[in-house]
């Protein structure tokens, strides 16, 4: 199994475990972080537990297909959000990434720092060829993060996200192992 702890200048990304339940529940319960998320706000902590238990079990398998990392502050260990890597078919050597950052930590560069670390993890540790991400077209903060990390906007999928506000178009992004990552 590849290394599963990623440390950056300000952050530590580690695989989630059940001790993260309350922090993840709080994150999923924030209306501002739910605006562009199709998961929805869980009604109870048990509902959150039923969402994350398969993620945790996945980390115990011999062949992880879905990595779900907690983002912690290096200085004080504070939980700041989640980052996921969902591997596709081995033949294609690609993965989709997603993230959800607590609103207390928006606009401070943490999402970009996490994404750059995850991109390096994908190419250097997982030996991927391509990494992909998508975001609602109105989610300016998210697509700025994707672009700052070196991902390229490839297109727009029409009305694929079932958000509370209605169906949303989605921008599709990618980065290839051969792309210049000198800023990562």
CB 132 within 8 A of CB 173: yes
CATH 3.40.630.30, domain 5-176, yes or no? yes
Structure confidence by residue, pLDDT tens digits, 21-47: 999 999 999 988 888 888 788 889 999
Structure confidence by residue, pLDDT tens digits, 158-181: 999 999 889 999 999 999 999 987
pLDDT, position 2: 60
**DSSP one-letter code for 128:** -
Select from 142, 145, 138 the least CA-distant residue to 166: 138
pLDDT, position 3: 64
- Domains of the chain, by residue range, sit at 5-176
Select from 63, 57, 55, 156 the least CA-distant residue to 98: 55
* Residue 79 pLDDT exceeds 90: yes
pLDDT, position 1: 54
* Cα radius of gyration (the chain): 16
């Amino acid at each position: 199994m590849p290394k599963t702890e990623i440390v950056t200048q300000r952050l530590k990304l580690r695989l989630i475990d059940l001790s993260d339940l309350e922090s993840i529940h709080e994150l999923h319960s924030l209306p501002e972080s739910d605006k562009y998320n199709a998961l929805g706000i869980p009604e109870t902590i048990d509902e959150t537990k039923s969402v994350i238990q398969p993620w945790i079990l996945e980390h115990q398998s011999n062949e992880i297909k879905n990595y779900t990392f907690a983002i912690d502050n290096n200085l004080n260990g504070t939980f700041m959000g989640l980052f996921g890597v969902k591997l596709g078919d081995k033949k294609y050597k690609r993965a989709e990434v997603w993230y959800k950052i607590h609103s207390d930590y928006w606009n401070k560069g943490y999402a970009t720092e996490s994404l750059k670390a995850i991109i390096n993890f994908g190419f250097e540790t997982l030996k991927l060829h391509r990494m992909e991400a998508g975001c609602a077209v109105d989610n300016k903060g998210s697509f700025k993060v994707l672009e700052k990390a070196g991902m390229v906007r490839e297109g727009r999928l029409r009305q694929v996200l079932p958000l509370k506000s209605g169906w949303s178009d989605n921008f599709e992004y990618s980065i290839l192992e051969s792309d210049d990552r000198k800023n990562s």
